[in-house]
Structure 1
Amino acid sequence: MESLGNPRPKLADALANADLLVDRATIDRTIAQMAAPIARDYAGEVPVYLTIMHGALPFAGQLALELGARGLDLEFDYLHATRYRGETTGGELVWKHRPATALYGRRVLLVDDILDEGHTLLAVKQWCLEQGATDVRIAALTTKQHDRCVEGISADYVGMQVPDRYVFGFGMDYHEQGRNLPGIYALKD
């Protein structure tokens, strides 16, 4: 993918200038720990499990398996809403795919890789409530440590906090690359 004739930055260059913040074993333990309170909170129910594409895919898959191991059934669907479209700053929310599952009268668990400022997650949560969801909760693998989060949004289940740096790996991208890295990295300041 090229932008205005400029080649996309190389992932190898980013990795050479990045710190490994969280290794795979720590991510695995964190996701397993997150599953316990979620399974407890939804016991006896089958929530709509909405994966926010593309970033949440690795996290959502692993969390779903941990929830299944604890006896929680899920009704899977996904959505794709973005403000970034390959850029590093957000713009207007663009819906690429809305869930096909009816949300009216249902409890919904939104699953995302990161809660940064929260503009996209807030818009998605509000949309779910407008569709008649009775309860919308958010499971985020990571949250950024800063004070720029929009009012009215927070994650109900948080795996870990990451510094206010450009982070990538395990679902998070570096110019649409590196989502499948098995760790979480941050560019050096």
Structure 2
Amino acid sequence: MNAAADHANQVLAEADCLHDASTVRRAYDRLAERIREEYIGRNPLILCVMVGGLHATSEITQRLDFAFEIDYLHATRYRGATAGGGLLWKRQPDRELKGRDVLVIDDILDEGHTLVAIRKALSEFQPASLKVAVLAEKIHDRRAPEAYAEFIGLQLVDRYVFGCGMDYKEYWRQLPAIYAVKGM
């Protein structure tokens, strides 16, 4: 093993579990039902925000029983760190957005700067509608005023969290529960 992996193992060993796997599964069930009610019969384009949104997109779309198309985009502010920086676009969607109902799925709504930038960029393609679903919303007073999600699975305390697509220095995205780093 290497020092980074050893450190990640230590962080997990000391972490607090905020939402266990069964709670997260129920949140995905609720999200999928609300999304189904909104989009059934509308052939939406679902956009996964890489890399964090991959887990949530997979979990939600497996629960959907109607036709939709899927694509992804990659925009980040973290680049392996624990604090956000400037927005970096790595990939915009390939599919045509104009006139489409578009649903963006991501892991978490924190301060919201990334989602605000994504909404702004995607709006320029003139979708018929543009909505956001997130597994988790962090509750604090640092949120950008224009940052919001129409579909929210869980609320989180203001701590550094990981699991269910969220990472600690690029580790632990695959965990089925949501954890908080001890002391953060």
Q: Aligning the two structures, in what range does the TM-score lie when normalised by the shorter sequence?
A: over 0.9
The offset of 1:142, in angstroms, is: 0.2
Distance 1:89 1:27 in 2: 25
Q: How does 1:19-98 map to 2 (within 5 A)?
A: 19-68=16-65, 72-98=66-92
Q: Give the 3-state SS of the residue equivalent to 2:141 in structure 1.
A: coil
Q: Deviations over 1:154-182 (max 9, x none)?
A: 11000000110010011000000011112
What runs of 5+ residues in structure 1 fail to find an aligned partner?
none
Distance 1:93 1:153 in 2: 15
The offset of 1:67, in angstroms, is: 1.4
Number of residue pairs the alignment of both structures matches: 181
What runs of 5+ residues in structure 2 fail to find an aligned partner?
none
Letter paired with 1:155:
A
Q: Give the 3-state SS of the residue equivalent to 2:72 in structure 1.
A: strand
Letter paired with 2:75:
A
Q: For residue 106 of structure 1, what is the aligned residue in structure 2?
A: 100
Distance 1:43 1:59 in 2: 19
Q: Deviations over 1:69-90 (max 9, x none)?
A: xxx2211000000011111122
Q: For residue 14 of structure 1, what is the aligned residue in structure 2?
A: 11
Distance 2:32 2:41 in 1: 15
Give the fraction of aligned pairs with identical amino acids, expressed as a percent. Answer: 44
> Alignment partner for residue 128 of structure 1, among 122, 131, 136?
122
Runs (4 or more) in structure 1 with deviation over 4 Å come to: none
8 A Cα contact 2:161 2:180, kept in partner: yes
Q: What RMSD in Å do the two structures reach over aligned CA positions?
A: 1.3
State TM-score, norm by structure 1: 0.92
The offset of 1:8, in angstroms, is: 3.2
Distance 2:110 2:64 in 1: 25
Q: Give the 3-state SS of the residue equivalent to 2:171 in structure 1.
A: coil
Distance 1:61 1:53 in 2: 12
Q: How does 1:143-154 map to 2 (within 5 A)?
A: 143-154=137-148
Instruction: Report which stretch shifted further, 19-28 or 116-125.
Output: 19-28
The offset of 1:43, in angstroms, is: 2.2
